[in-house]
Amino acid sequence: MSNRSSLKSWQSLENHALEMKQQHMNELFSLDEQRFDKFSIQLPSMLLDYSKNVITGKTIDQLIALAEECDVSGWREKMFSGQRINSTEDRAVLHTALRNRKQTPLYLEGENITDSVESALSKMKAFTEEVRQGQWKGYSGKRITDVVSIGVGGSNLGPQMVTEALKQYSDDSLNVHYVSNVDGTQIANVLRPLNPEKVLFIVSSKTFTTTETMTNARTALKWLVAASFDDKAVAKHFIAVTANKDNAVNFGIDEENIFELWDWVGGRFSLWSAIGLPIALDLGFEKFIELLEGAHEIDEHFCQAPLTENAPVILALLSVWNCTFLGAQSQAILPYDQSLHMLSAYMQQAEMESNGKSVTWHGKEVNYPTVPSIWGELGINGQHAFYQYLHQSNNIVPADFIGSVESVTPVQGHHQTLMANFFAQTQALMTGVDEQQVRADLKATGRVDEYIDKVAPHKVHKGNRPTNTILMKRISPRTLGSLIALYEHKIFVQGIILQICSFDQWGVELGKGLANKIHQQLDQPKVSINHDSSTNGLINFYQNIISAE
């Protein structure tokens, strides 16, 4: 199979990029009044405006030709039909089956996994209702008031981001907390105000071997047993979500209390499964289903819309255009909605763990830049922090601006101010302001020439900085489901274009293995260590302080 960079469409794009690097968006907008209409897509839950990119109709045609040459549609079909496209782990990639709300049968090795998903959902529903309605009792007969979800990475970020985003939709039935860090400070702070009689722990771990999660789960178990003086209390207070039932049972969790995961659900795509149980407990099961419905809506759009009108495809192609062809090295995710305060962190994992790789799925080193680093912060806070860099540094950072027409918590006067900034920022990033204008503006305020000469260069904004705007009607379980699925499919398409296996994460293994070795050495200080001089020096410094105390 050919390397991407030898494709005809790739080479045309390389040539086209040379032309487009000379273009300014201001000129492109003045040449074409229909730009917004041409370069925006309206979906039931959101509007995507991508007109503020350094693109023309020709750019889009060539990007679509690239998508076709890379057979994006064929790969999409492979994913949805359960082919083992996670090639390095030899697994299917079927998070879409978890939200297949039409419940169309899907067979994997002879098993209709739609049935398995539906029965897992029924179990989640019954459990959620029992706990929320107070029928599930703790060891002393009291109802559960607090849920502590223990998990890390894909078993934490998605559910926590969604729980935070949908806080306004939660009632007072339960308080949901998350523990992910192995730094004991987090679990200690979470447990301190809680009453063990009323706490339910959910240990979420696909493998049920992750050191951090197991360490936190054991601490939680000790805390519970110390308070209840009863090993049997575990059955009333511990739930597991895992693909490794044996390990969960060995840990002491009742078989009845285990929710199943499948190997075809990747960690960072798992919030739609029982990994989303804390979300369902917090919001109620119906709202969890609405989240799945919103995602399913985008799955259908992704499968049915022509590539030119396909929002995830367009977002992926633009990312490839901006990074691989125009040379941007990072991308900002900038939500202008307080509910989405964890979205950038979530997107960091979703995109960087998926596509932050440099060999193709055939194991060959790629000869082009792959994905940018992803970073970001809530809109207004970021404006008063790093937007200076977005506007005037000599690095171009393409940015996704995500906002909502209506606030979920309307407070008079606030939302208009927020949204005025939302619209102004993408405009300013695009138009910039040239020296002539800066000088004229300063003159108009009565400034003397000497001052103008000194200050004008500092006030010039070159503009031409690409942004996408995603405008949602309002954050809700449904629209949030759509937003997350939009990005999931964007990441998938990007992986296909870049010829990267988006569904493994070998890059997290090396450090884990070394940490295990070093952990053993820390437990046995007398054992001589033989690392490089830096690592030896650091460990010695650490141990000397500990042994002196």
Residues with a known catalytic role: 353, 384, 512
Q: How far is the CB of 154 from ligand G6Q (least distance, A)?
A: 3
Q: DSSP code of 1?
A: -
Within 10 A of 520 (CB to CB), how many other CB atoms are there? 9
The span from the CA of 311 to the CA of 101, in Å, is 21
Task: With beta carbons less than 8 A apart as the criterion, state whether 138 and 236 touch.
Answer: yes
The span from the CA of 160 to the CA of 381, in Å, is 21
Q: How far is the CB of 503 from ligand G6Q (least distance, A)?
A: 8
Q: How far is the CB of 244 from ligand G6Q (least distance, A)?
A: 8
Using Cβ positions, the residue closest to ligand G6Q within the complex turns out to be: 153
Task: With beta carbons less than 8 A apart as the criterion, state whether 100 and 117 touch.
Answer: yes
Q: Which is nearer to ligand G6Q, 273 or 467 (CB)?
A: 273
Q: Which is nearer to ligand G6Q, 263 or 309 (CB)?
A: 263
Sign of CA dihedral 421, 424, 429, 433: negative
Q: Give whole-number Cα distances, 324 to 27, 350, 397, 423, in Å.
A: 23, 19, 13, 27
Q: DSSP code of 43?
A: -
Q: Which is nearer to ligand G6Q, 86 or 426 (CB)?
A: 86
Residue 331: phi, psi to the nearest 5? -140, 135
Q: Which is nearer to ligand G6Q, 281 or 491 (CB)?
A: 491
Q: Which is nearer to ligand G6Q, 196 or 276 (CB)?
A: 276
Q: How far is the CB of 512 from ligand G6Q (least distance, A)?
A: 9
Please name which of 308, 423, 348, 417 lies closest in space to residue 61, comparing C-alpha atoms: 308
Cα 354 off chain centre by:
10
Q: How far is the CB of 214 from ligand G6Q (least distance, A)?
A: 8
The span from the CA of 30 to the CA of 21, in Å, is 17
Q: Which is nearer to ligand G6Q, 172 or 246 (CB)?
A: 246
The span from the CA of 302 to the CA of 312, in Å, is 7
Q: How far is the CB of 87 from ligand G6Q (least distance, A)?
A: 16
- H/E segment holding residue 315: helix 311-320
Q: Are strands 467-472 and 399-404 parallel, antiparallel or unpaired?
A: parallel
Q: Which is nearer to ligand G6Q, 107 or 506 (CB)?
A: 506
Q: How far is the CB of 471 from ligand G6Q (least distance, A)?
A: 29
Residue type, 31: L
Residue 90: phi, psi to the nearest 5? 50, 55
Q: Which is nearer to ligand G6Q, 5 or 207 (CB)?
A: 207
Question: What does the block give as tokens for 529?
Answer: 């260590």
Return residues touching ligand G6Q (CB under 6 A).
Answer: 152-155, 205-207, 210, 213, 266-268, 353, 505
> What are 239's strand-pairing partners?
202
Rg of the chain over Cα atoms, rounded to whole angstroms, equals 26
Q: How far is the CB of 240 from ligand G6Q (least distance, A)?
A: 11
Helices marked H in 385-465: 387-392, 414-431, 435-444, 449-459
Sign of CA dihedral 337, 341, 344, 347: negative
